[in-house]
Amino acid sequence: MPADATTPETTPDTTTGNATGVDVAAARAALKDVAREPGAAKPDPILVADGIKRQFGGLTAVDVAHVEIQRGVITALIGPNGAGKTTFFNLLTGFDRPNEGTWSFNDRSLNKVPAYKVSRMGMVRTFQLTKVLSKMTVIENMRVGATGQRGEGLFSAMFAPLWRSEENANTTRADDLLERFLLIKKREDFAGSLSGGQRKLLEMARALMANPELVMLDEPMAGVNPALKQSLLGHVKSLRDEGRTVLFVEHDMDMVRDISDWVIVMAQGQIVAEGPPDAVMSDQAVIDAYLGSHHDQDLSEEMEAQILAEAQAELEGRHEAQHMPLEENRG
């Protein structure tokens, strides 16, 4: 029973040059003509999601009507805490299942596709809480990342000549990546002994061993010191420059402004705005989502009364809505 029945094609050299043949400049330029509205259609989407809804009991964590991710660019997914960004990530990558909705990667439907198959299709993610394999060395962590290894089948595993050459090739590739991510000195150390930032680097490098088309980074900057942040930024950009598509969740606005080509803003499970970084950051809907809609007004007595009345009306509206089916509730 070989575990890897469907193995992807042999991987091209990923450490130098453009791995996927995507014209990065053209992909970025094409974004100029895209409408700055939630759910805008992209000229060349790699990932398309429709009507994704995920409910935990009565709480609707994610309710995305339509979203497309442009190929060959860096897209940031931002939003206040609890906006459902990570949940949306989990849904897209098969780590969680939505209650309803369809989504596809390279025009192949991902409905009910398990996480490991999503990854084999070329869509590899990292985690907010970094998941390194602590009791294994850095180089072993890297080797695990390579997909479609012949030695990972149970019967061929016992005969080293069947997989040794492939293993050597993978090790060379891993060493190149470790060199690039400045981890080569830590090659033989246990991954558990790395610092938080180094773990982020290792996780990113390990994801690259799978040679993904779309790299999904869940808060790559969380808990990383400022010095390392700059280096991480460079690494994320280098992913784009070699032709990979990057989708990342982030709180760090400087990073978002610095490296992303396109920004998608989520609030309360929905996509509230889309556009290039500068346009999005001055968007009223985004500011409202982060700071509340009354953040720049002095609180006069009339205002206070008005807000109170609005809140009261909203509460009553909600109270009535509870008796209605969920569909209508959302409006």
Partner 1 sequence: MDFVTILGDSLQQALGPTAIIYCLAAIGLNVHFGYTGLLNFGQAGFMMVAGYSIASAVTVFSTSLWLGVLVGLILTVILALLLGVPTLRLRADYLAIVTIAAAEIIRQTVSGAAFSDTFGGQDGVTDFISGFRAVNPYSTSLDLGIVEWSANDTWVMTVGWTMVAVSCLIVWLLMRSPWGRVLKSIREDEDAVRSLGKNVYAYKMQSLVIGGLFGAMAGFAVALRSGAVGPSFFATDVTFFAYTVLLIGGAARVLGPVVGAIIFYFLITGLGTFFSQATRGADPLIPAAIMDSQQASLMRFIFLGLGLMLLMIFRPQGIFGDRRELAIDAR
Contact mark string toward partner 1, 294..313, x via CB under 8 A: --------------------
- Contact flag: residue 112 with partner 1 (CB under 8 A): no
Cα–Cα distance for residue pair 308/330, rounded to 1 Å: 22
Contact indicator for 87, 93 with CB cutoff of 8 Å? no
- Contact flag: residue 149 with partner 1 (CB under 8 A): yes
Run of H or E residues at 103:
strand 100-105
The letter for the amino acid at 248 is: F
Query: Whose structure tokens read 């989708």?
Result: 247
Compute how many residues bind partner 1; rule: CB under 8 A.
45
Length of the chain as a residue count: 331
The residue from 65, 133, 228, 285 that contacts partner 1 (CB under 8 A) is 133
Name the one range near partner 1 by CB under 8 A: 18-26, 125-133, 235-243, 311-319.
125-133
The CA-atom distances, in angstroms, between 91 and each of 53, 67, 114, 119 are 9, 13, 11, 13
Of 70 and 126, CB closest to partner 1: 126
The token pair that represents 279 in the structure block = 């346009």
The residue from 11, 30, 80, 95 that contacts partner 1 (CB under 8 A) is 95
Name the one range near partner 1 by CB under 8 A: 12-20, 115-123, 235-243, 314-322.
115-123
Of 19 and 289, CB closest to partner 1: 19
- Bridge partner list, 273: 265
Our measurement of the distance from residue 30's CA atom to the centroid of its chain's CA atoms, rounded to an integer in Å, reads 21
Of 247 and 256, CB closest to partner 1: 247
- Contact flag: residue 157 with partner 1 (CB under 8 A): yes
Q: Which residues contact 221 (CB under 8 A, 6 or more apart)?
A: 200, 229, 232, 250, 251, 252, 255
The letter for the amino acid at 120 is: R
Residues between 186 and 215 that touch partner 1 (CB under 8 A): 190, 192-193, 206-207, 209-210
Of 80 and 153, CB closest to partner 1: 153
Helices (H) and strands (E) in the chain, counts: 13, 10
Binding site for partner 1 (CB under 8 A): 1, 3-4, 93, 95, 114-117, 119-120, 124-127, 131-136, 140, 143-145, 147, 149-154, 157-160, 163, 167, 190, 192-193, 206-207, 209-210
